[in-house]
Structure 1
């Protein structure tokens, strides 16, 4: 590839990285699973020590699937926050109901701590690749985490094995609104040369 094309591609990549935003307001149309699969086929080329490919994915975008997910997540919220009012619980369910699709990223937890850390890092790299590919296609995502990722009842509801857990719950869809760019600390303030 000629060097000028490489420079152009690098600047496009740089622009995608710098412009990507976490999207929380979506249009109602779900992203077709074929598009998700296509992006994952490229995203899987993330750095992955020993090429363990510890990941698998559950895409929830059907009305039935979303209803199951919402009820499962609501039950978890009620269990983890017993004083949650019915009104707050309903608001939580309504918020989830406005998300057109959920990509549940599952990874195998190796018994070896170092391998487990490597696998989580690889899965996180895949997720970042996915988010950048999605942004390039006009698809928005927000990476969700929290205690729900570790809950065994939630794991069972989605068929996770004993040696698996969620790396992320990614809300996905076509953006209805994109937030403004947040100021970032200049990297020179976090850079040491020795």
Structure 2
């Protein structure tokens, strides 16, 4: 009886996980409901438990930005990089300000910083591990109503931006996750079936 109950629970969990993977979407429009930092940290901690390098160390660190002041500073740096590289120079200043305000209105940013230690091969393995962890985090967050968008804009590779964000030598930004509670789930886009991209030997 106990074995049957365990099997039933396992099947339920498997179905739930499959549903999470299929239903999760990138979220770019967030609700005004406050984002629970406690829940974010709890889910991040859970995702982080699965990723360690050969030294038993998590190969990254995080910067959580949720205060208005912190977000304004981050957005100011982003817009400075755009100006430095003459990106969006065709935009009227009013539109640029609207863009900045839209980013600031996002409930929280999570900056993921990789610690680049060891050989190039090891850094690549660490990067893959970090990406796997972030995928787990996105599913765990989605399960409790938190959506996110994985941001990899060119400004993250700008040295002045990295320095202003407090990065040390030998560190790089993997991504900045923009996060918040979601109310509407975007419609899924047509995906290429995996079976069209696989070969068998």
Q: Same fold (TM over 0.5)?
A: yes
Q: 2:64 maps to which residue?
A: 59
Report SS of the residue matched to 1:5: helix
Name which of 46, 71, 77 aligns with 2:76: 71
Closer/same/farther in 2, CA of residues 84 and 29 from structure 1, 3 Å limit: farther
Hey, what's the Cα distance between the residues in 2 that align with 1:92 and 1:65? 17
| Alignment deviations for residues 52-88 of structure 1 (CA, whole Å, 9 cap, x no partner) | 3111111111111111111111111211235243234
| Alignment deviations for residues 91-149 of structure 1 (CA, whole Å, 9 cap, x no partner) | 32022122111011111112411111011111111110110000000111110002122
Larger Rg: 2
Does residue 166 (structure 1) correspond to residue 176 (structure 2)? The answer is: no
Hey, what's the Cα distance between the residues in 2 that align with 1:150 and 1:52? 24
Report SS of the residue matched to 2:117: coil
8 Å contact 1:48–1:118 — kept in the other structure? no
Q: Can you give the 5+ residue segments of structure 2 that lack an aligned partner in the other structure?
A: none
Q: Can you give the 5+ residue segments of structure 1 that lack an aligned partner in the other structure?
A: none
Hey, what's the Cα distance between the residues in 1 that align with 2:48 and 2:101? 33
TM-score by length of 2: 0.90
Of stretches 68-77 and 91-100 in structure 1, the one that deviates more from structure 2 is 91-100
| Alignment deviations for residues 145-164 of structure 1 (CA, whole Å, 9 cap, x no partner) | 02122111111122111111
TM-score by length of 1: 0.93
Name which of 89, 100, 103 aligns with 1:96: 103
Closer/same/farther in 2, CA of residues 5 and 176 from structure 1, 3 Å limit: closer
RMSD: 1.6
Count of paired positions? 194
